[in-house]
Amino acid sequence: MNAVGVDLKKLRAPALLLVLLLLLIALPHARPGYAVVLVYTILMYIVLTVSWVLFSAPTGYVSLAPAAFFGVGIYTSAILGMKLPLPVVICIGGLASAFLALLVGALTLRLKGIYFAIFTFGLVELIKHFVLWYELKYTGTRGRFLLPVGNNTIYYVMLAILVALLLTTYFIKRSKYGLALQSIGEDEEAAAHTGINVTLLKIITFAISAVFTGAAGAIWAIRLTYIDPYIAFDVNNSFMPVLMAIFGGLGQLYGPILGAVVFSFLREVLITRFPYYYMLLIGTILLVSILYLPNGLVGLIQRWRRRIWGGQHANT
Amino acid sequence: MLEIRDLCTFYGKVQALWNVSLQINEAEIVALVGSNGAGKTTLLNTISGLLRPASGHVFFLGQQIDGLPPHAVVELGISHVPEGGRVFPEMTVRENLEMGAYPYQAWQHRGETLEQVYQMFPRLKEREKQLARTLSGGERQMLAIGRCLMSRPKLCLFDEPSYGLAPLLVAEIFRIIQGLRDQGITVFLIEQNVRRALEIADRAYVLENGRICMEGPCAELLESDHVRKAYLGL
């Protein structure tokens, strides 16, 4: 009896996720139109946030490079979109971003703390202006157009990227590499003494996180239909994942996901309802949440749980 | 087992080690004593690959290891217990130990090694699920030693294991180090606590201003005038 109870408890989370996945798969059939657009926007932010968390949360290296990887994905799609089938374009977008991450990682992952953050931020600006210069000088046009595809296609591709990302994150977290990444964040020198190849592990994880950001960019480009360097390398795409992850809470994997869902939904609602005040409102929400929710939404949920179930869960 | 020849190491332009040569044989405890700033930690960090020597070589079991990165040195069987232990504070005791078994070969045997470490340190088993930051200073040092043993090393490097511990705990840590030798693990011990170190080691080197100025069996060094005056206050 007891054994069955334990087994059921273990199965609860995967079962819940499976139901959620089926609902997401069914959504475009049940409610086509705006709902699909809204949900794939949210999915895109989840991808950005979780891939940021994959590298930056355990290691403590705050990366502001997501916009660079996202933009590389966008441009891959803009250049190859009409020549190659969509899945191939998405894969190349991811790989191109990973390649950039390997290069940047090898150069800069020796930088500590704030220096790494500033360098990655500079990278976004650098690539943006390089692309702008290239386009004006060699193609003579500032932007590019993409052939639109159906909303449902964008939706399913984004969902597939997210599922692949979540599986990857889950397996890394469960393996010894997940623990090793955390030990790098806690004491990098001690981590090296335990036999971890810290440089290699950091670079590879950075690249893995870039794969998904780039892939998301490649499909997002098609939704945008017109892009130029300012749209593709928008620095907001670097800050949003950080904000969403902190808003959700970094301790558990579901924190950043929850943060991305709530925050991007909020953003969407505020943009449509209060187009002039939306940045003001977003800023206020952020300030309040940092002041009163130091551990993000996860911290809030844990506090509620404790109140409902009493002191027995105090340690979780 | 470990041989160091004419090693010179710099911090930028400042030379910290001058032509250091020493030798450690299998299953002995060799101590390196000296005062603050003599270059003891620099020497350990050069052996474990954190620093690169400007000249000179380090050989381990006949293989040249200077210039290898730290993880490669660990894989060859040299494990380093850094000063203060430096356990991972936000990880549990068990996770800390598992990280010690990170190299491929050690990972394959981690269950077995974990049992051995728990047998040596029953306290760690009791506190298996606690975060390392909740441990006392002595327990942390034990955890650091346990983590070092998880890589199944042939040679353990200890950097000031007595640092900041109460005398009773120091005695216990030193007993543990002697126990390692009895299990066939070679120990290279760096200490400021000269008397204690010379009491448990087989041989010792004295490092002053980055140079080795004396060496020999511990009994002899304990008798020497220089050591008695400079380090033992006699």
DSSP A257-270: HHHHHHHHHHHHHH
CA distances from A315 to A25, A256, A297 (A): 37, 21, 18
Pairwise CA distance, residues A185 & B88, whole Å: 9
pLDDT value at B201 more than 60: yes
- Residue B110: closest CA among chain A residues belongs to which residue? A176
Pairwise CA distance, residues A137 & A129, whole Å: 12
Tokens at residue A266, please? 């909020």
Q: What is the pTM of this model?
A: 0.89
Better-predicted residue by pLDDT, A295 or A53: A53
Q: Would you call A176 exposed, middle or buried from its count of C-beta atoms within 10 A (0-12, 13-18, 19+)?
A: middle
Range of lowest pLDDT (A107-116, B129-138, B146-155, B178-187): A107-116
Whether residue B191 lies inside any domain: the answer is yes
Amino acid at A207: A
Q: What is the pLDDT of residues B212-225, one digit of tens each?
A: 888 888 888 888 88
Range of lowest pLDDT (A28-32, A221-225, B41-45): A28-32
Q: Which of B80, B82, B91 has the CB atom closest to A182's CB atom? A: B91
Better-predicted residue by pLDDT, A305 or B2: B2
Whether residue B201 lies inside any domain: the answer is yes
Better-predicted residue by pLDDT, A112 or B63: B63
According to DSSP, the β-strands at B155-159 and B186-191 are parallel
Residue pair A90/A232 in contact (Cβ under 8 Å)? The answer is: no
Better-predicted residue by pLDDT, B36 or B78: B78
What residues form DSSP beta bridges with B186?
A: B155
Residue pair B99/B91 in contact (Cβ under 8 Å)? The answer is: yes
Token look-up 């996901």 returns: A257
Q: Does B102 contact A176 at a Cβ distance shorter than 8 Å?
A: yes
CA atoms within 13 A on the CB side of A313: 11
Residue pair B85/B112 in contact (Cβ under 8 Å)? The answer is: no
- Residue B132: closest CA among chain A residues belongs to which residue? A186
A297 — pLDDT class (breaks 50, 70, 90): confident
pLDDT value at B3 more than 90: yes
Based on the structure, what is the number of domains in chain B? 1
What residues form DSSP beta bridges with B156?
A: B79, B187
pLDDT at A316: 41
Pairwise CA distance, residues A217 & A222, whole Å: 9
pLDDT at A6: 59
Pairwise CA distance, residues A244 & A257, whole Å: 8
Pairwise CA distance, residues A39 & B56, whole Å: 63
Count, in order, helices (H) and strands (E) of chain B.
Answer: 11, 10
Amino acid at A167: L
Q: Does A193 contact B82 at a Cβ distance shorter than 8 Å?
A: yes
Highest mean pLDDT among A207-221, A294-308, B4-18: A207-221
The whole-number average pLDDT for the span A233-262 is 90
In CATH, what number is assigned to the domain containing residue B196? Answer: 3.40.50.300
| Mean per-residue pLDDT of chain B | 90
Q: Give, in degrees to the nearest 5, the angle at Cα B83 between A109 and A184.
A: 25
Q: Which of A182, A195, A199 has the CB atom closest to B102's CB atom? A: A195
| Mean per-residue pLDDT of chain A | 89
pLDDT value at B173 more than 70: yes
Residue pair B132/B99 in contact (Cβ under 8 Å)? The answer is: no
> 3-class secondary structure for A285-307?
HHHHHHHHCCCHHHHHHHHHHHH
A7 — pLDDT class (breaks 50, 70, 90): low
Whether residue B124 lies inside any domain: the answer is no
pLDDT value at A176 more than 80: yes
Residue pair A158/A47 in contact (Cβ under 8 Å)? The answer is: yes
Percent of chain A, pLDDT > 70? 95
Q: Which of B50, B74, B89 has the CB atom closest to A194's CB atom? A: B74
pLDDT value at A251 more than 80: no
Helix (H, G, I), strand (E, B) or coil at B190: strand
Sign of CA dihedral B53, B59, B64, B68: negative
pLDDT at A307: 83
Q: How many CB atoms lie within 10 A of CB B118?
A: 18
Q: Does B88 contact A180 at a Cβ distance shorter than 8 Å?
A: no
Q: Does B102 contact A189 at a Cβ distance shorter than 8 Å?
A: no
Q: Give, in degrees to the nearest 5, the angle at Cα B183 between B57 and B106.
A: 65
Range of lowest pLDDT (A109-113, A171-175, B46-50, B195-199): A109-113
Q: Which of A180, A186, A189 has the CB atom closest to B102's CB atom? A: A180
Whether residue B62 lies inside any domain: the answer is yes
- Residue B98: closest CA among chain A residues belongs to which residue? A176
Q: Does B106 touch chain A (CB under 8 A)?
A: yes
Percent of chain A, pLDDT > 90? 59
Q: Does A195 contact B87 at a Cβ distance shorter than 8 Å?
A: no
pLDDT value at B127 more than 70: yes
A309 — pLDDT class (breaks 50, 70, 90): confident
pLDDT value at A5 more than 80: no
Q: What is the pLDDT of residues B5-21, one digit of tens each?
A: 998 998 888 888 889 99
Token look-up 């059921």 returns: A8
Count, in order, helices (H) and strands (E) of chain A.
Answer: 14, 2
H-type helices in chain B, by residue range? 40-47, 70-76, 93-100, 104-108, 110-120, 122-126, 137-149, 167-182, 194-200, 218-223, 225-230
Q: What is the pLDDT of residues A45-78, one digit of tens each?
A: 999 999 999 999 999 999 999 999 999 999 999 9
Residue pair A27/A182 in contact (Cβ under 8 Å)? The answer is: no
Range(s) of the domain holding residue B54? 1-77+156-161+187-234
Q: Does B86 contact A190 at a Cβ distance shorter than 8 Å?
A: yes
Report which of A39, A5, A13 is spatially closest to residue A170, judged by C-alpha positions.
Answer: A13
pLDDT at A315: 46
Q: Does B82 contact A189 at a Cβ distance shorter than 8 Å?
A: yes
pLDDT value at A88 more than 80: yes
Residue pair A217/A70 in contact (Cβ under 8 Å)? The answer is: yes
Ramachandran quadrant class, B189 (left: phi over 0; alpha: psi -120 to 50; beta: rest):
beta
> Which residues of B are less than 8 Å from A176 in CB distance?
98-99, 102, 107
Percent of chain B, pLDDT > 90? 59
Whether residue B108 lies inside any domain: the answer is no
Tokens at residue B84, please? 């203060």
Whether residue B54 lies inside any domain: the answer is yes
Better-predicted residue by pLDDT, B34 or A94: A94
Q: Does B45 touch chain A (CB under 8 A)?
A: no
Q: Does B74 touch chain A (CB under 8 A)?
A: yes
Q: What is the pLDDT of residues A34-46, one digit of tens each?
A: 899 999 999 999 9
A111 — pLDDT class (breaks 50, 70, 90): confident
Q: Give, in degrees to the nearest 5, the angle at Cα B93 between B146 and A189.
A: 70
Pairwise CA distance, residues A104 & A86, whole Å: 27
CA distances from B6 to A2, A253, B69 (A): 66, 51, 20
Pairwise CA distance, residues A57 & B190, whole Å: 36
Helix (H, G, I), strand (E, B) or coil at B46: helix
Whether residue B19 lies inside any domain: the answer is yes
Better-predicted residue by pLDDT, A249 or A69: A69
pLDDT value at B124 more than 70: yes
pLDDT at B164: 83
Q: Does A196 contact B102 at a Cβ distance shorter than 8 Å?
A: yes
Q: What is the pLDDT of residues A121-166, one digit of tens each?
A: 999 999 999 999 999 999 888 889 988 888 899 999 999 999 999 9
Whether residue B64 lies inside any domain: the answer is yes
Better-predicted residue by pLDDT, A71 or A254: A71
Q: How many CB atoms lie within 10 A of CB A303?
A: 12
